[in-house]
Every structure is written in C-alpha cells, then in structure tokens.
Copies of this chain bind each other. A is one copy, B any other.
Amino acid sequence: MIEPLLLNLRSHDVVTREEEDRLRSILQREQRFSVGEDLVSQGTRPGYSTLLIDGFAARYKYMEDGSRQITALNLSGDFVDLHAFPLKTMDHGIVAMSPCHVAFVDHADLVRITEVAPHLTRLLWLDTLIDGAIHREWIVAMGRRTKKAHLAHLVCELFLRLQVVRRTDGNSFHFPLSQAEMADVLGLSIVHFNKTLQALRKEGLVTWENRTVNILDWQRLKDAAEFDPTYLNLSVEPR
C-alpha cells in the first residue's frame, strides 16, 4: 500500500527494512476521494499529513476574480502535505484530479520520526526539497520558456516522475487532467492551451487523447523543452 512511496524514496536513497516498517506503522486510516473533492482545504490546520497512495491531485490557489492557478501536481506515492506538518496553516488547497486513494499520518508521529529516525527524517525532508526544486523549475518555465517549451517540459517531468512509481506504459502514461485544468497549470487560457498542445502534436512530439499522453520522440521533446532532469534527483545516494 505504501509501495509507491517506497519507490519514490528508493529513487533517491536506500530505505532499510526498519524504516519501511516504521513508515507502515504510522499510516492511519485510509480514505478515498472522488474527483473535485478537496484532500486538504485552504486555511485549515490539519493535525495530520496525507500520503497519496494512488491518483492525481493538484495544489491550487484561487484569485479573487475566480481564476485558479495550480502550483503543483501530486502523483501516486507523493506526500501531498508533509508541508503542513511544521507549517501548520495551509496557505493553499489540494484537490483530487482523479479518484484518489490516500492514507493519513498524524503530525505527532512525524515529530516522533524526527526524534528517533534521523535518516528517515532526511529522506522525508528531501522529498519536500524536491517539491521545492520542481517549483523552481516551474517558475523558470513560466518566466522564460515559450508556452510550447513549458508544456513540453511538463510532459518530460511527468513522464519521469510517473516512471519512478511505475505508472508509465512504454512511452505513454495515463493523465486525467482536462485541457481546462491544464490551462490552470500553465497559467494560460483554455483556448491557448489547446493551440499550444496542437503545436506539439503537429511537430510529431506527442499525442494526447483519451486522457493518455504518448511521447513520440523523447529526444526532440527534451530538446524542445530544454529539459534537464537533474532537479528531480533521480539517483540513489546516501542522503
């Protein structure tokens, strides 16, 4: 049940059997959310953190004019709000973009981990640091990439992250977001997201239909995106 989390952590460092057991032992009740439900709502102070076992979720923030910006995408195996643990008050919400299967962890148990399991603490810390690295990459994409490159970059990133948790199938992966939702990821209008996607399709870099993305030419996609996977830290090293 925590397999995707373990796959995630093990893409960065060795996780011992003892650490694995410790993680299992702190998982509280499971719960399922359907599309559109908030896993965590803005402004709340949850006393627990949420592990996404399976599904797709998005961090989002609404503006006063009703527009929305998605600031992160969470995949199977992601701790969606380890953040809330020392951060206390949620400054944004997290919503299910597909049916989501989650498990909860009490903050008290996380505090306990920092007290007795320093290496595991560093691994969880690392997980939040990679979130930060992804955020920076998104900032770069929004500020200095063309929209086409931004989208291409996102596809590259999603592919590698999904591959870690074995959610890819050859060169393709299931991806449940609508184009309207993707527009909120890229900070675009729906119309222009559509035109950007069509540009990628026309160049023969990807297909994207039935909520399935298929990468036709990894090398050219990578080039179009100026994609460098360093920030994902996909190498096993002592941390």
Query: CA of A230 to CA of B197 in the docked complex: distance in angstroms?
Result: 35
A71 within 8 A of partner (CB): yes
Q: Which residue of B lies closest to A42 (CB)?
A: B230
> CB-defined interface of A113-140 with B at 8 Å, one 1/0 digit per residue?
0110011011101101111110111111
A132's partner among B43, B126, B132, B144 (CB-CB below 8 A) is B132
Within 139-193 of A, Cβ neighbours of B (below 8 Å) are at 139-140, 142-145, 184, 186-187
Q: How many residues of A contact B (CB 8 A)?
A: 53
Nearest Cβ on chain B to A69's Cβ, whole angstroms? 4
Name the segment of A18-26, A32-40, A85-93, A209-217 touching the other chain.
Answer: A85-93
A144's partner among B69, B88, B122, B133 (CB-CB below 8 A) is B69
Nearest Cβ on chain B to A104's Cβ, whole angstroms? 19
A239's partner among B86, B136, B228 (CB-CB below 8 A) is B86
> CB-defined interface of A63-98 with B at 8 Å, one 1/0 digit per residue?
110011101100000000001001111011000000
A71's partner among B111, B122, B136, B184 (CB-CB below 8 A) is B136
The 6 closest A-B pairs by CB, nearest first: A143-B187, A135-B135, A91-B231, A142-B142, A86-B126, A86-B239
